[in-house]
């Protein structure tokens, strides 16, 4: 039998990994003279080494050219957001015109709902998952109130039907069908932030449309984690951030998708000058003439310094390719699962569904000892340089990111957790 815990086993898996050199392109924080085993890419991805040059390029250009930097030389600021368009389209499976980098996730969610949540007398309801990320819930609830609608009558929060906050597809399907007459919009996550469950978004979009609803996705935990096909899946809109799996730095400029069939929409929108067609924007006329496609939802000239890291970070994804990243991600979580099953089953339950189609990089680990034991394990891991994150009351999220984590990192997690278990 192979010894899953032997250093040789992890080393062999690392040697066979075609993406192994990407790790060298990251700055990995250190602990006691060694690199951390950093599993927090679901919260803040590590810094790609290439980021600094792009940020410095902007600073240097500003110093040397000032206002001329908008129109001259390499990486001009006027069309700067277009530099990330192609990699973003690749990441979410969209046409170039369907994606734009702008604002922040929650701001984009509001802008999308202004356009796509248009309640009628018959259809007022918004359907989300119970236990959704607070910002999404606040955004949805405040939109309902903005339209003068009482959330307790118009916000449908689908309760999970399986243990540990997991949903069966039948449950989601039933909730959509049961509310078909009154559904105006569905907002669903690509990957649920707490349970780590990934969803069949193509199916949810199809069911939502069949019910006559708009379907939008929050891809905060899915982008750069799972291969996505937003165009083919027919999503109406999607929003996501770039500081998690996309490694673009704290508070990075976010992303937004609007399906091409809405490119020339007559729907209302909150407009700003940067959404005005570039060909006429600087005539400074009084009439808003939106740029067709996602660009038409831009408000302001973008923070170039905030966009600069996304150039370096998204280029890595384009180079590695989402199919190869997904393949490695599955190998990493398989190894993590094997180690937990073989050595940690008494202490830890993996609450994320194990079926490949229902998870990404993240495994949410429920610590059987409860909150105090869980905190103790979490803190013990940190003393060993193993960095996950904590979700109340008893969950540790561990997310091996295929761009920079290796199999040895996963082994280090298991060794540290076994240590803790044996000392109890």
Which residues contact ligand PLP (rule: CB under 6 A)?
Answer: 104-106, 133, 135-136, 189, 193, 218, 220-221, 241
Q: Rank residues 61 and 359 by Cβ distance to ligand PLP and give the closer one.
A: 359
278 CB-near residues (< 8 Å, 6+ apart): 79, 291
**Which segments are annotated as binding site?**
105-106, 133-136, 218, 221, 243, 273, 301
CB of 106 to ligand PLP, least distance (A): 3
Q: Rank residues 140 and 175 by Cβ distance to ligand PLP and give the closer one.
A: 140
Q: Per the omega criterion (within 30 degrees of 0), is the bond before 24 cis?
A: no
Q: Are 268 and 115 in contact (CB under 8 A)?
A: yes
CB of 30 to ligand PLP, least distance (A): 26
Q: Rank residues 35 and 136 by Cβ distance to ligand PLP and give the closer one.
A: 136
Q: Rank residues 348 and 395 by Cβ distance to ligand PLP and give the closer one.
A: 395
CB of 137 to ligand PLP, least distance (A): 9
Report residue 256 as tokens.
Answer: 């937004």
Strand, helix or coil for residue 91: helix
Q: Rank residues 215 and 410 by Cβ distance to ligand PLP and give the closer one.
A: 215
Q: Are 71 and 336 in contact (CB under 8 A)?
A: no
**Which segments are annotated as binding site for pyridoxal 5'-phosphate?**
105-106, 133-136, 218, 221, 243, 273, 301
CB of 147 to ligand PLP, least distance (A): 21
CB of 42 to ligand PLP, least distance (A): 8
CB of 189 to ligand PLP, least distance (A): 6
Q: Are 366 and 392 in contact (CB under 8 A)?
A: no
Q: Rank residues 124 and 362 by Cβ distance to ligand PLP and give the closer one.
A: 362
E strand residue ranges, 139-207: 155-158, 183-189
Q: What is the 3-state secondary structure (H, E, C) of 382-423?
A: HHCCEECEEECCCEEEEECCCCCCCHHHHHHHHHHHHHHHHH
CA nearest neighbour of 126 among 187, 169, 206, 189: 187
Q: Are 317 and 404 in contact (CB under 8 A)?
A: no
């Amino acid at each position: 039998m192979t010894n899953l815990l032997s250093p040789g086993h992890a080393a062999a898996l690392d040697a066979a990994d075609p993406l192994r050199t990407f790790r060298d392109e990251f700055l990995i924080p250190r602990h006691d003279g060694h690199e951390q085993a950093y599993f927090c890419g679901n919260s803040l991805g590590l810094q790609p080494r290439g980021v600094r040059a792009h940020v410095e390029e902007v600073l240097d250009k500003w110093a040397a050219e000032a206002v001329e930097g908008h129109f001259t030389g390499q990486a001009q600021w006027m069309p700067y957001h277009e530099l990330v368009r192609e990699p973003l389209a690749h990441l979410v499976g969209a046409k170039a015109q369907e994606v734009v980098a702008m604002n922040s996730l929650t701001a984009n969610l509001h802008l999308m709902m202004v356009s796509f949540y248009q309640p009628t007398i018959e259809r007022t309801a918004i359907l989300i998952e119970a236990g959704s990320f607070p910002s999404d819930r606040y955004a949805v609830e405040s939109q309902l109130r903005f339209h003068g609608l009482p959330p307790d009558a118009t916000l449908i929060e689908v309760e999970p039907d399986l243990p540990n906050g997991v949903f069966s597809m039948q449950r989601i399907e039933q909730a959509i069908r049961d509310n078909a007459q009154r559904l105006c919009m569905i907002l669903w996550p690509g990957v649920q932030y707490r349970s780590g469950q990934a969803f069949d978004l193509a199916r949810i979009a199809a069911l939502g449309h069949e019910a006559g609803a708009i379907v939008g996705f929050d891809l905060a935990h899915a982008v750069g984690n799972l291969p996505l096909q937003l165009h083919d899946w027919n999503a109406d809109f999607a929003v996501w951030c770039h500081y998690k799996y996309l490694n673009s730095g704290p508070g990075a400029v976010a992303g937004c998708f609007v399906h091409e069939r809405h490119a020339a929409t007559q729907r209302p929108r909150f407009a700003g000058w940067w959404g005005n067609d570039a060909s006429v924007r600087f005539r400074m006329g009084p009439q808003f003439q939106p740029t067709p496609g996602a660009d038409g939802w831009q408000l302001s000239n973008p923070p170039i310094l905030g966009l600069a890291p996304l150039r370096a970070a998204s280029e890595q994804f384009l180079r590695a390719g989402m199919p190869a990243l997904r393949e490695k991600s599955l190998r990493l979580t398989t190894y993590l699962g094997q180690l937990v099953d073989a050595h940690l089953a008494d202490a830890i339950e993996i609450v994320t569904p194990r079926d490949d189609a229902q998870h990404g990089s993240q495994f949410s680990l429920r610590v059987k000892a409860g909150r105090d034991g869980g905190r103790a394990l979490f803190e013990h891991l940190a003393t060993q340089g193993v960095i996950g994150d904590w979700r109340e009351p008893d969950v540790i999220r561990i997310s091996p990111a295929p761009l920079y984590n290796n199999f040895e990192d996963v082994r280090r997690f298991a060794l540290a957790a076994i240590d803790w278990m044996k000392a109890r």
